[in-house]
Amino acid sequence: MRTLVTFESSAFNTTESKQYFVNPRNYGDDVAKWMIAALQKAGVQTDDEPGQEDFGWYFEFRVPEGQHCAAVGFRPGDPAPQGCWIAWIERSRGLLGSLSGGRQRGIAASAAAAIHATLQSAEIRNIRWHEKKDFDAMREALGAETP
């Protein structure tokens, strides 16, 4: 299942480091907030605000099959000169479930569909969905336009 998506957009901050970033180039807070608003508008229950990690930003959302987590970060200058956004979906699990790899199992197709629907905007271009194993192995050419 394709659970990782790359896309391009010039609508979001990729140049101005904010004082609250844990890392100087921890862009993506505005993307995560935009995704939260789009999901909520579509009737999907989400966190009110994204959380921050060293890799970027994340938020929880719920589809009928259960709670999921979406994470988003920015990859500068590759593959496009202006860079691209990377977002991925995991299943929300407790500590033990996370330690045993449970975040990668049981991801609902409806979770990917919900994220895909948020990306259907004039602000977003070059959407490519990837299987995590292919993306991690740098086989991005295997990506597809839909999850």
Has residue 60 been placed in a domain? yes
DSSP state of 1: -
For residue 140, give the nearest of 86, 74, 76 by alpha carbon: 86
Has residue 137 been placed in a domain? yes
Has residue 103 been placed in a domain? yes
Per-residue pLDDT of the chain (147 residues; tens, 9 = 90+): 899 999 999 999 999 999 999 998 899 999 999 999 999 999 999 999 999 998 899 999 999 999 999 999 999 986 566 789 999 999 986 655 555 555 677 799 999 999 999 999 989 999 999 999 999 999 999 999 999
Beta strands in the chain (DSSP E): 4-8, 45-46, 51-53, 56-63, 66-75, 84-91, 125-130
Has residue 147 been placed in a domain? no
Has residue 34 been placed in a domain? yes
Has residue 22 been placed in a domain? yes
Return d(Cα 36, Cα 114) in angstroms, integer: 11
- Which domain covers residue 20, as residue numbers? 4-142
Has residue 8 been placed in a domain? yes
The total number of structural domains in the chain stands at 1
User: In CATH, what number is assigned to the domain containing residue 64?
Assistant: 3.30.310
Has residue 38 been placed in a domain? yes
